[in-house]
Chains A and B, each alone.
Chain A
Amino acid sequence: KNQVEQSPQSLIILEGKNCTLQCNYTVSPFSNLRWYKQDTGRGPVSLTIMTFSENTKSNGRYTATLDADTKQSSLHITASQLSDSASYICVVSPYGGATNKLIFGTGTLLAVQP
């Protein structure tokens, strides 16, 4: 069964600190993996997208890594800001799907405190 699991479920950090969110997936075959940020009451916003051949991708203070062999990904947030408080969702796209269906993780809820 295609699944995407994220950890931790929630996380509280102090402003300015770094943190790393984890994503494990069992989707096969695999096309690409995405990280989204979802603010409360808003739609998801794309942070990074990586194909199976990419190991790392950065977007400002966000750096995603991918190990396609172990089927693991991480999202590292550097020098956190209060505005980083949101839910971070790992999403995997299976290969070969004509309708671009995505498989969503349950998300990690991050709270950045002053």
Chain B
Amino acid sequence: GAVVSQHPSWVICKSGTSVKIECRSLDFQATTMFWYRQFPKQSLMLMATSNEGSKATYEQGVEKDKFLINHASLTLSTLTVTSAHPEDSSFYICSASRAHGSYEQYFGPGTRLTVT
């Protein structure tokens, strides 16, 4: 149990376009979902935390108008990178928690975004 999927697993887009990444909890309801970004040879960096039905909380330095997060249901959160630029190329990983205060975050397999 506790499987998190992401779609797509990789995507290439042109500079200036937008791309949407989906994160789904397949066998549990996720009250809270997290979005991370990971650059090569670096650790995961939290971008934002989203609770179902409410606005996401963004970390300092993360532009909320550029990285749009929607958590409309207990099993789906989406991250839309708007007006993507080459510097947005990265590995994006989501995770999901069953409930507030739960120890465990279950990570998705990640999405590789390349902006040309």
Residues of A within 8 A of B (CB): 31-32, 36, 41-46, 49, 89, 93, 98-102, 104-107
Partner of A43 from the list B32, B104, B110 (CB cut-off 8 Å) is: B110
* Distance in Å: Cβ of B6 to nearest Cβ of chain A: 8
A107 to B103, CA, bound (A): 20
Q: Let me know if A45 and B103 touch, CB within 8 A.
A: no
Q: Let me know if A43 and B107 touch, CB within 8 A.
A: yes
Which residues of the other chain, A, contact B93 by a CB distance below 8 angstroms?
43-44
28 contacts between A and B (CB under 8 A): A32-B103, A36-B107, A41-B91, A41-B110, A42-B109, A43-B4, A43-B6, A43-B107, A43-B109, A43-B110, A44-B44, A44-B107, A45-B107, A46-B106, A49-B103, A49-B104, A93-B103, A98-B100, A99-B32, A99-B57, A100-B32, A100-B34, A100-B105, A101-B49, A102-B46, A102-B105, A104-B43, A105-B43
A-B contact count (CB 8 A): 50
Secondary structure type dominating chain B contacts = strand
Query: Sorted from nearest, which 6 A-B pairs have the closest CB atoms?
Result: A43-B107, A104-B43, A43-B110, A43-B109, A44-B107, A99-B49
Q: Taking A43-B93, A43-B108, A46-B104 as contacts, is the C-beta distance between A104 and B49 under 8 angstroms?
A: no
Which residues of the other chain, A, contact B60 by a CB distance below 8 angstroms?
none
Which residues of the other chain, B, contact A32 by a CB distance below 8 angstroms?
103
Q: Let me know if B107 and A101 touch, CB within 8 A.
A: no
A42 to B49, CA, bound (A): 20
